[in-house]
Each structure stands twice: as structure tokens, then as C-alpha cells.
Amino acid sequence: MDRLSQTCERIAATTKKLEKTAIVAEYLKSRTRAEASVSAIFLSGRPFPVWEETTLQVGGSLLWNTVAELAGKKDLTAAYRKLGDLGAVTGALLPNRPTHLNVLQIEKSFREIAAARGPSAKAPLLRDLFQQATPLEAKYIVKIVTGDLRIGLKESLVEEAIGKAYGATLGEVQRANMLLGDLGETLRLAIEGKLSTARMRLFHPLGFMLASHAESADDALSYFQNVLVEDKYDGIRAQAHCSDGQVRLFSRTLDDVTDSFPELAIALASFTGELILDGEIVAWRSGAKEAANTETPNSEEGTAENIESATPTKIPPAGHALPFSELQKRLGRKKVSEAMMRSVPVAYVVFDVIYAEGQLLIDLPLRERGTILDNVFQQTRRPTVVLTPDPQGRLTFEPAVASGTAPGGNHADVIRAPILRADSPHHLDELFDLAQSRGNEGLMIKDLSSAYTPGRRGGAWVKLKRELATLDVVVTAAEYGHGKRASVLSDYTFAVRDRDRLVNIGKAYSGLTDKEIAEMTQWFLGHTLVDRGFVRDVEPKIVLEVAFNAIMRSDRHESGYALRFPRILRIRDDKPVEEIDTVEQVEKIYARQHGRAVQRQHGVERPGQRVHRQRRRRVATHRPRAQQRVQVGAVIGMPVADEYGITATEALRKRSAIFSSGT
């Protein structure tokens, strides 16, 4: 471990990627195969391979207290504020020891700590490990435990170093590591010259393809010609792994979130074969639930004429996504109650397929992946359709899979994401406004000829988003940052006015330059009201303009609201505190934002719905009236399929036309 720690110090000392890669390659070649395999994983900042479910479950407070105890310190705050990293603090404060640890011994200790249950069982194991390590070794043990080496070494550079050390190309190493989820095993295959034998290992998350930001509709369409348009949903990105009824869901941070959404696992178990899907988990309101009072046209057997002229009191409203604040109630829970599942129903909106029928599909163009995804939905054990708005705002039938009955009679659906084409910036702007009117964040614009590039942000996918609004606020507290910002006050809590008092509404740490942060730090240090260590309550005199994507109700702040994704636009030196925005203004923005959701829930007709509503009536022309009634409390989609005679196969036909038109 001493050699690995010294290697990490050398890596941290240079900013040149080629030098970092060469240092890692040199170190790996100098170790035994077993040591190099474990070291490769450690150098990626992890104690265990990605595919393993094993986690250390060592919290920050346990680490902090253990280091403080061994260093003979009551408080590490001063050292942490100076160094900005608990690993660096550990290396600076622990006493010197003559012994050295081997990386294989540390891996064994990590597995013992992971197997121990609870802080009381883990604490003595962690203490023993630190007592056997030198300060430098302990420094990097802490960094591995916390998952952040902070030496400017990404996993991609470790992959490059493996290729350099053992005569393989970067592409060969990256592909094997992606399939296996194990840098150590990838290294062993590279040594043996067998990287091509790596096969897909399900139930470990792959990297997500990322989107670039487009400033405008013109900018979005400047990237490529043949585009596919989807709503950008306000949920959490999730990758679904399915195999013979076994299902796992992984978040964008590669965490297993299956237990938070058990009803989705039931729906996904209906897919056949081995699959990896990419999509968004959203809080979802069923159109079927909202259609309980739906009336049907006055016709007996029905003809084209009388159904066309009939005017129902209400039309069946489409299912739709709910605000992120609803979904947030379910996040971070190890176990979700039946009451919570009923209170916050969810859906999984699928927009891509990464693996199917034993084949990794990432090299295929989106056009072909879309066709394969349509076939995946068609072959499921419970194919159906749901009624949902497409990006144009028209009600359409989308392929879906219903969960049947989850615990407590709760339902969930897996829905094929509605798609459309756009041929001009003006058209795209119209689609954007419609997406926001449905409560979604904006639009995703995708190149039909693009491959799926895990973990990369390129120009093949772009997202079009706009801030909901801006607020002028005043800073009430400033907090020290982390890493390179450990010595400056870079995180700001801010407030709005509530009559004659200030009430906090959010916290932001992005948007200012390093120079502005340094100047602000000096001002806050000179205008501190209360010094609470990492956080300082400051005189409320600095006014900021902040932008944000949404407002949520929250008990976290005294205002009763919280801003989603706040970003500092500028320092308002020109505005006095007396003129900052008020809680009343926040409430107006919140009402405007959620007033759209109220319209959706009550089935208010939007432009473009009337034509599609008439088309649905024509489909139902020759069906008995008894079959034209939406069942109360039915699963999303299934009554719609029965009602209008639309099958999942028929719903897929329009999709094939969209994909083929991009050729």
C-alpha cells in the first residue's frame, strides 16, 4: 500500500494526463497480477468492483470520530478547513508507524468491514486498520473509503494505463470493463490477451449517455438534421436490468434504487429475455384514475356520424407526470410503505434500449435501437397501451406494460416514451411550450443516426431547458466549500422578504467566478454575525440574482419553499436589500407553475387535442356501448386498450414510420 500511496502522490503532483497514465502503467507492471488487479480498483476510487453489491457502509461521522480518536484530537474542524479533505487531514494528524500494509491485506480488511453490521461493529475494525497503516497509507485508505481520491485520476485514465501496460487498445479495455463492471478482471484479461472474451454481466450499471445543453431551438437544431423529439421529464434517470423475472433499477449515480420502487420491478418482470433499458422514473398520475366520472357519447351501437357529433361531458384525461417534489417523497427510502406507493404512484418512461437478445446495442444508431425497443414492448407478457400526450400535445396511445397488482393493490407502468419529429426552430419552440405546459422540464432532441455513448456528453443528444424564473435574494449565511474551495466561503444560503423579516428559501454554490468568490469571502469574513465553524451567519447585505428550474414546498426552509437547481446569475450591487423579492412573489411563481398541473388533472382540452379526440371516437364506431366505458380504478392503459380497440402492436405502427422517415 505504501507503493500505491506514493504513486498517488506522484499522480496528484502533475496535471498532465499522459504523465498520469504513464505513472499508473509503470506501477501496475511492477506489481503481481493479484496486487495489480486490486490496485486498479483502488485507483478508480472504489474499494470493490462496480458489479459487486458489496458496500462498506462507513459513514462520515464514523470516519471523522475514528480519525479524531487516533490523532488525539477532540475536533478536526480547523485541520479540515485548512486541507479541505478528510484523507489529507488523516495523513497530517496520525502518528508515524514503522509497519506497512499490502493492498491485498487492505482489500481483506475492507471486506471484513463491509460484512460487519452497524457502526459499533465496524468501528474497531476501522480503528485496527488505521493503527497498522502509516500516515500516508491511512490518507489514501480514507480517500478510497469516501470514494474520491482527488488526485485528478479518472477511471478512463486507469483504463488507458491498463492498455498501455499490457499492449491493448483503449477501446478494447473500455469495452471489456463496461461489460464486466470490474477493472480488476479487465486487467487480468488484458494480461492474458483475452479482452475480446469479455461478456455482458447483467445487474451492474453501465454509464449513462449524457446530453449537452442547447441555448435555443436554433442552437438545438444546428447539431444535426434528422432529429427525434421527446419531452424531458422531471424525474430521476434510471437504468433497468431485467432477466427471467429478476429486475434491478440503477440511478444515474449508479446506486441500486430497486427497493424504492417495488411496483416498477413487478411491471418490468413482464419483459422477456435479458434486457437493459434506459429511461426516467417519474411520479405519475393515471389517466384511468382521473376518468372515474367519464361520460360516453349517447349512442347505442354507434355510427360514424352520431359518434362524431356526440359531445361527452368529459373526455378521458391522459396520464401525466407529476412534479419532482412528489417523487422526492420516495427517494432515499430503504423500504416504501403501501401507503406511500398509493400516495405517490410512479411510472418508468423508457426511451432507449442498451442490451437485448444477447447483444450489446450501443453501436447501433438510435433509429435501429428504437425499432428494437418497439419489438421489446410488443413481445412482453402483458402488452397494453396508455393514453398520454405526445410532444405535440396531442393525446396518443403509447405502448406500455402494466404491473398488474403490486402489494396493497398498487399499480405502476412501464411506458414507451412518446416521440415526434421537428423540422424547424419555430416548431421546436412550440413543442417546448407544450412540454412545459404539461409540467415537464423541456425537450430532448436526439440524432436518429447516433450511437449510444455511455458516460459521455456529446452533441448527439441535446436538452432544451429554460429557467422557470429568477429571484433577487439576500445572502444570510456562507459556508466553506470542499476540495480546492475548502479555504473560501463559496456556498451561500439566501432569503426573500416576508413583510419585515427575512426567510431562507435556498442555497447555491455555482455561477460566480473564482475571483468573485474570493472577494465575497473577504467581505463575509469581515461581516460575520455568528461563526459556527464551517458556516457563518453573515450580515444580510449582499443581494444576488438567482435562476432556478422549479419551486417546491419544503419544510427545510423557513419560507416553506425550496428552489430546484438554483444558480447564481450575478451579484446585484445596484439593488438594496429592501427591494429583494418577497414570499408573495414566490407564491405567485409556484401557483403559475402548478396551475398547469391543475389544468392537466382536470382534463382541460388544449389545441391539437380535439382532432385526436375525434379520431378516437371513429376508432370506437362499431363497438358496443358497454365496451366504450372506462373502468373505474383500472390499471393505466388496459381499459384504454379495451375501450378503443387499440393494441400495443397498433400503437407501435406510428413509431416505425417516425424511425423509418429518418433514413
Which active-site residues does the annotation give? 232
Round the CA-based radius of gyration of the chain to a whole number and report it. Answer: 28
Question: What are the two backbone dihedrals, phi and then psi, of residue 138, each rounded to the nearest 5 degrees?
Answer: -65, -35
Closest CA to 449 of 568, 363, 322: 363
Buried b / exposed e along 503-529 (16+ C-beta atoms within 10 A): bbbbbbbebbeeeebeebbebbeeebe
Cα dihedral sign, 392-393-398-404? positive
- CA of 277: how far to CAs of 1, 204, 243, 252, 483, in Å? 39, 13, 12, 13, 35
Handedness of CA 102, 108, 112, 114 (dihedral sign): positive
- The helix or strand, by DSSP H or E, that contains position 498, with its residue range, turns out to be strand 489-498
Question: Closest by alpha carbon to 396, among 624, 611, 625, 657?
Answer: 611
Q: Note whether 171 and 417 are within 8 A (CB).
A: no
Sign for the CA dihedral angle at 477, 483, 487, 488 comes to: negative
Which residues, 6+ apart, have CB-to-CB distance to 546 below 8 Å?
470, 471, 473, 494, 506, 508, 511, 563, 566, 567, 568, 569
The C-alpha atoms of residue 233 and residue 439 are separated, in whole angstroms, by 8
Burial class (CB in 10 A: 0-12, 13-18, 19+), 111: middle
Give, in degrees to the nearest 5, the angle at Cα 285 between 232 and 561. Answer: 70
Q: Is the dihedral of CA 519, 522, 526, 528 positive or negative?
A: positive
> What cell was used for 570?
450575478
The answer to whether 201 touches 422, Cβ cutoff 8 Å, is: no
What Cα–Cα distance (Å) separates residue 433 from each residue in 7, 220, 430, 602? 53, 15, 5, 19
Grid cell for residue 65: 470520530
DSSP β-bridge partners for residue 588: none
Q: What is the DSSP string of 100-116?
A: ---HHHHHHHHHHHHHS
DSSP code at position 322: P
> 472: helix, coil or strand?
strand
The SS3 of residue 474 is strand
Find the helix or strand (DSSP H, E) in which 367 lies. helix 366-378
C-alpha of 219 from chain center: 24
10 Å Cβ neighbour count for 97? 15
Distance (Å, whole) CA 88 – CA 97: 17
